[in-house]
Amino acid sequence: MFRHTFLSAAVGLAGMFLTSGAQAQTDEFIIVQSTTSTQNSGLFEEILPKFTEKTGIEVRVVAVGTGQAIKNAENGDGDVLFVHAKPAEEAFVEAGQGVERFDVMYNDFIIVGPSSDPAGVAGSADVVEALEKIAESKSPFASRGDDSGTHKAEMRLWGEAGKEVASASGQWYRETGSGMGATLNTAVGMGAYVLTDRATWISFGNKGEHEVAVEGDPKLFNQYGVILVNPEKHPNVKAEAGQAFIDWVLSEEGQDAIAAYKVDGQQLFFPNATTADGA
């Protein structure tokens, strides 16, 4: 179980939203298409009430995988996109679906696995070598398999390792088609390795005998970005309110709020906002 309430991908797709305040006293709201990691970690629960208190704008979050969030935004089902797959985000803007992309914050991916460490990768800082060992030993590996930012990063890393995991699907390689929390539960239940963002892992309450096996490789860097959905493409976009949210997230106040959020004394996200002038 997570220590914080969150919306599953299924709930997000059903159109149910998390409100940034318990009872936001305003009729003005925006919809942010975002990832399960920002929600599962408890970050939004922590910082969105601060934005609402300052501006009177309620934030409703659809928490799904990055790929689905981008598709939702392409359909005009949201005002702001807040995800973590930079090439896909840049393509979204290039296609005219978004106005401009800004870096917001980062953390990192890690591979966690059973303490028995059947692939012998514990303590490694070389993620490609670790994946090679996992594949060669046919040790169980749980994948989100959902086109999320985490899944996109995993596929990139398997590619660098020269491994075609699709051929092992349903064998040692298991695709859950689920969010990070459900995939972590699957990995713990089947004694499998799994790639996860560190923030979700820290917040995850069902670790069992699993522990961090691989970390520290620069290839595991995990950047988040924010984009206003293009109102010229989608006239229903609340451009002014959406931009107000982006401006706040990129501001010193918003960045400080992100940095201040910790679980068990551990900082989950590290602000590194960029603005139009490069500051």
What pLDDT, in 10s, does the model give residues 228-246? 999 999 999 999 999 999 9
Q: Which residues of the chain have pLDDT under 50?
A: 1-26, 276-278
As a whole number of angstroms, the distance between CA 220 and CA 216 comes to: 7
Q: Under a CB-based contact definition with an 8 Å cutoff, are residues 224 and 104 in contact?
A: yes
pLDDT of residue 22: 39
Per-residue model confidence as pLDDT tens digits over 177-236: 998 999 999 999 999 999 999 999 999 999 999 999 999 999 999 999 999 999 999 999
Residue 275's pLDDT is 62
Spatial distance between the Cα atoms of 248 and 251, rounded to a whole number of angstroms = 5
Residue 39: its pLDDT value, please? Answer: 85
- Using alpha carbons, select from 203, 202, 201, 207 the residue that is nearest to residue 189: 207
Instruction: Write down the pLDDT at residue 27.
Output: 65
Question: Domains (ranges, CATH) in the chain?
Answer: 9-106+222-271 (3.40.190.10), 108-220 (3.40.190.10)
Query: In the numeric block, which tokens belong to residue 165?
Result: 């995991």
Cα–Cα distance between 58 and 80 in angstroms, integer?
13
Q: What's phi and psi for 212, nearest 5 deg?
A: -65, 125
Unique residue bearing structure tokens 């006239």: 235
- Closest to 32 measured CA to CA, from 255, 245, 269: 245
Q: How many alpha carbons fall within 13 Å on the CB side of residue 277?
A: 1
Residue 200: per-residue pLDDT? 92
Q: How far is CA 267 from CA 194, 202, 271, in A?
A: 22, 9, 11
